[in-house]
Amino acid sequence: MAERRPNRASDADRDAAVTRAITRIPLDYPHRLAWWLFFLAALGLLAVFLVSVTVLFARGVGVWGNNIPVNWGIAISNYVWWLGIGQGGTLISALLLLVQQHWRNSLNRFAETVTVFAVICAGIYPILHLGRPWLFYWMAPYPSTMGVWPQFKSPLAWDFFAVVTYLTVSIVFWYVGAIPDFASTRDRAKRRSAQVFYGLLALGWRGAARHWARWRQAYRLSAALAVPLVVSFHSEVSLLMSAGPIPGWASTVFPAHFVAGAAFSGFAVVAMLATVLRKTLGLQDLVTAKHLDMLGKLMLVTGMLTAYGYFAEAFNALYSGEAHELQTLRDRFAGAYAWSYWGAVILNFVPLQLMWLRRFRCNPACLFLVGLSGAVGMWLERYMLVVTSLYRDYLVSSWGAYHASVWEWLLFAGTVGLFMVGFLLFVRLAPMMSAFEIKAAIFEHEESVDV
């Protein structure tokens, strides 16, 4: 780095190049045709979402396949899955900010966007699952004329507050982190409409030193609060399973197992989107081989932690010697839904082993495929966890089967559309990387080399 020092003009040019590379995307989007094709596909899936929700509202949850004993089918396993995907974004953004890993600056904005839309997809599932979804506001604490209050000892109320808090905090954190880049976009905008749009979003930001100082305080404190929030959220999800007397749901490894699995699926999706975005938008200078390398390592660490959770669950069941726990373990290994167990184990942990080697971590296609495998594998894991425990519970007389109906599958496809529409609009309209933090990191790096 030292030999670059005398050439001061090039530093300013590079600072400008970083901002221009990022702000040109919302201001003058390249590859519009590809974007529109993706967006039309996403809109098609969103239409599927609207149709399946309409059918659900018109005919009731009877159109789904869940019933006693498996009253938590895909609706709840998808809730857990989407939440887990959201968690990866917050961890990349907030945790790596606090431990000063500057490489996060190329990934955090769109990782946080993944969080926001994944949490929206997750949050609608418990509402749709209510039976009378139009009364969902009964879960909010307000002085109702009926004189009733939410039941705060119920996991449903916990979910409501957890989702509302997580969604609000994710959006606020995303927005506060993006204000200075909205200002950059405003200042680069040539069209009046874009100047007004980004001008309003920038809130009049002018980069004053006092504003930066307070911004740092608020941003770091929010990050410090967001990290325990995500960890607590997935622990809460595991807790609401433990709250039910069901075999296979009461292991003490659950909170940690859920958090690790959630982070794993989140990193997997962020890795997939990072490889796609850098390729389609030509951002190889900003999302470099190092970023892919780090994402691969994060997937490997959290994936292996998840694998430990599988081991500990099986060990707990065997060690307990309890007949129903052993029954559930046998059902997972060889029962009617064993495909979901082995599918999860194979897709989660077999391709993942490639991530031990740097060559594969830095290969975008390979990273994408391992990420895809992890995302699908974690979906199977959530499905397995819900269904294999419920279909044969402690009450042998109530054993039964579960088959998801076509409306559940269509709704699932629809939530993917909901996610994609939101994410594609973000890619089109917002500066998707933290330009000012990249510049600050470059400056601080040079300062430290100087000393």
Partner 1 sequence: MSDRKAGDRIYGLVAEFDRPEKLLEAARRAREAGFVRFEACSPFPIEGLSEVIGFHEPWTPLATLLGAIAGVALGYGLQVYAAQDYPIDIGGRPLVAPPAFAIVTFEFLILFGVLGAVVTMLALDRLPRLHHPLFELERFHLASLNRFFLVIEARDPKFHPRRSRDFLEKLDPVRVDEAPFAEAQA
The residue ranges that bind partner 1 (CB under 8 A) are 8-9, 11-13, 15-16, 19-20, 141, 147-153, 157-158, 161-162, 164-165, 168-169, 172-173, 176, 180, 183-184, 186-188, 199, 203-218, 221-222, 225-226, 228-229, 232, 236, 239, 436-437, 439-440, 443-444, 447
DSSP category for residue 132:
S
In this complex, which beta carbon is closest to partner 1, that of residue 64 or of residue 198?
Answer: 198
362 three-class SS: coil
Residue 107: CB minimum distance to partner 1, A? 18
Please report how close the Cβ of residue 322 comes to partner 1 at its closest, in angstroms: 23
Tell the smallest beta-carbon distance from residue 435 to partner 1 (Å). Answer: 8
User: Which of 421, 413, 423 has the alpha carbon at shortest distance from 52?
Assistant: 413
Of residues 33 and 148, the one with the C-beta less far from partner 1: 148
Backbone dihedral region for residue 54 (phi beyond 0: left; psi -120 to 50: alpha; all else: beta)? alpha
**Cβ closer to partner 1: 189 or 294?**
189
End-to-end CA distance of the chain: 12
Q: Which two tokens stand for residue 399?
A: 């054993």
Residue type, 23: T
Which CB atom, from 153 or from 359, has the smaller least distance to partner 1? 153
User: Is the Cβ of residue 14 or residue 132 nearer to partner 1 in the bound state?
Assistant: 14
- Measured from the CB atom, the residue of 35 and 212 that comes closer to partner 1 is 212
Which of 173, 379 has the CB closer to partner 1? 173
* Minimum gap (Å) between residue 437 Cβ and partner 1: 7
442, burial (CB in 10 Å: exposed 0-12, middle 13-18, buried 19+): middle
Sign of CA dihedral 215, 217, 220, 222: negative
Write down the least CB distance from residue 120 to partner 1, Å.
17
Write the DSSP assignment of 407-440 as a string of letters: HHHHHHHHHHHHHHHHHHHHHHHS--S-HHHHHH
* Tokens describing residue 374: 């992890």
Nearest to partner 1 of 176, 369 (CB atom): 176
Which of 415, 272, 400 lies closest to 331, judged by CA?
Answer: 400
The span from the CA of 41 to the CA of 36, in Å, is 8
Q: Nearer Cβ to partner 1, position 9 or 99?
A: 9
The Cα–Cα gap between 320 and 324 comes to: 10
Structure tokens, 346: 């194979």
Closest to partner 1 by CB, 21 vs 326, is 21
- CA atoms of 84 and 87, how far apart (whole Å): 5
Closest distance of CB 219 from partner 1, Å:
8
What is the four-CA torsion angle of 173, 118, 261, 412, rounded to 10 degrees? 170
Tell the smallest beta-carbon distance from residue 90 to partner 1 (Å): 12
Min dist CB 248 to partner 1, Å, is 22
d(CA 219, CA 347): 37
Instruction: Characterise 19 by phi-psi region: left (phi > 0), alpha (psi -120 to 50), beta (else).
Output: alpha
| Smallest distance from partner 1 to CB 293, Å | 25
Q: How far is the CB of 255 from partner 1 (least distance, A)?
A: 12
Q: How far apart are the C-alpha atoms of 299 and 266, rounded to whole Å?
A: 9
